[in-house]
Chain A
């Protein structure tokens, strides 16, 4: 039997939305107050969904300890209480929550072995969230 397991994590980080490819005026009109040169921050809520057959010996899709350790080491330690514009991951890309969502998906996809990564969902605030499932459609 195949099940999907979702775990939720929190981290806080700063960013500034600014593209070197745009003029100062374009940056302001595109990003509005998110273009403020000193940056600003959010409490992000991250949901990682993995899937796979439920192991008949453990009753689990994967051991949560393994997922928690991976996300702690590879995601939370990388982004929590950081300014994302200063990180190598966003040297060339604007740290919008879309790009951050894709970036997190790719890190988990590359490195997490115990179960299949289904989807990453990222809430920037309680009012907006983003979902990325790689080449697959986001499942309802």
Chain B
């Protein structure tokens, strides 16, 4: 089994707010991330796939295909967007780094044919990242 990781970047804005919470609860739990006008990050995404090396091509996965899928399914949808207002997953769910990692997994996993998705890592800043392995 060989693991291959592809890296990409996207920039997006978001804010954290749960309509079930009172304004005080929202402020206490989410702090400055609760500002309704949003704020932004340069996200770094790492997608790791795993599989056996194809004896003819020497590839785990065709990188060009992986890049195309990543661009189409994830980057076109998230890059330079206000996540809460423009990305359907986050109309109801809060676009935390945790939920972004899960959303990226759910967008990519059904589209990958040759190799199997192993891990999605999303960096919100260089000091904070989330890993999702598709676990329930």
Contacts and interface: CB of A to CB of B under 8 A. Distances in A.
Contacts of A8: 126-128
A22 interface: no
A7 B125 CA distance: 10
Interface string A34-63: 000000000000000100001001111101
Of B95, B98, B101, most buried by chain A (CB within 10 Å of CB) is: B98
A4 B131 CA distance: 5
Given A2-B135, A3-B102, A59 B127 contact: no
B93 A59 contact: yes
A63 B29 contact: yes
B97 A57 contact: no
Given A3-B102, A65-B31, A140-B3, A59 B131 contact: no
Contact of A58 (B94, B131, B132): B94
Interface stretch (B14-22, B60-68, B72-80, B109-117): B14-22
Given A58-B18, A58-B29, A1 B94 contact: no
Nearest to B128: A7
Interface string A63-101: 111000000000000000000000000000000000000
B98 A60 contact: yes
Given A57-B20, A58-B29, A63-B29, A1 B102 contact: yes
Interface in B85-125: 93-99, 101-102, 119
B69 interface: no
Interface residues of B, number: 28
A5 B97 contact: yes
Contacts of B30: 58
B21 A57 contact: yes
Contacts of A5: 97-98, 128-131
Interface in A1-40: 1-9
A46 to B, nearest CB: 10
Contacts of A59: 16, 93-96, 98-99
A2 B134 CA distance: 8
Contacts of B31: 65
Interface string B26-55: 000111000000000000000000000000
Of A6, A7, A49, most buried by chain B (CB within 10 Å of CB) is: A6
9 contacts: A9-B127, A57-B20, A58-B94, A59-B93, A59-B94, A60-B96, A61-B98, A61-B130, A140-B119
Closest 10 CB pairs of A and B: A59-B94, A59-B96, A4-B131, A8-B127, A2-B135, A54-B98, A3-B98, A59-B99, A3-B132, A6-B129
